[in-house]
């Protein structure tokens, strides 16, 4: 639910002024939390597009499950729709 420390460090280290930033993530069920908002605040002089988030693989009993089957197809369709929406 928070932006991972490596991303925070990256955004502090690099000047993205005038750059286009397109946030996206996968998560285990908790959503984006404040991640996309923090990206916007960290890039005040950048073009920050609407982000995309999806529930990805989850872990249960030490086994990581990946997106497969219908979830995979649904996510591909959602990503295509999102990219079209933001003009890509």
Q: How many residues does the chain have?
A: 88
Give the C-alpha separation, 46 to 15, whole Å.
Answer: 9
Which whole number is the average pLDDT over 40-64? 86
Range of the domain at 41: 5-85
pLDDT score, position 16: 97
pLDDT at 66 over 80: no
pLDDT at 64 over 70: no
pLDDT tens by residue, 12-50: 999 999 999 999 998 877 888 999 999 999 999 999 999
Domain count for the chain, please give it: 1
pLDDT score, position 29: 79
């Amino acid at each position: 639910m928070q932006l991972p420390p490596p991303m925070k460090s990256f955004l502090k280290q690099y000047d993205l002024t005038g750059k286009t930033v397109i946030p996206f993530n996968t998560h285990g069920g908790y959503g984006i939390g404040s991640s996309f908002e923090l990206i916007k605040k960290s890039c005040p002089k950048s073009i920050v597009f609407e982000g995309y988030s999806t529930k990805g693989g989850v872990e249960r009993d030490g086994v990581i499950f990946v997106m497969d089957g219908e979830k995979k197809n649904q996510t591909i369709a959602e990503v295509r729709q999102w990219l079209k929406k933001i003009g890509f």
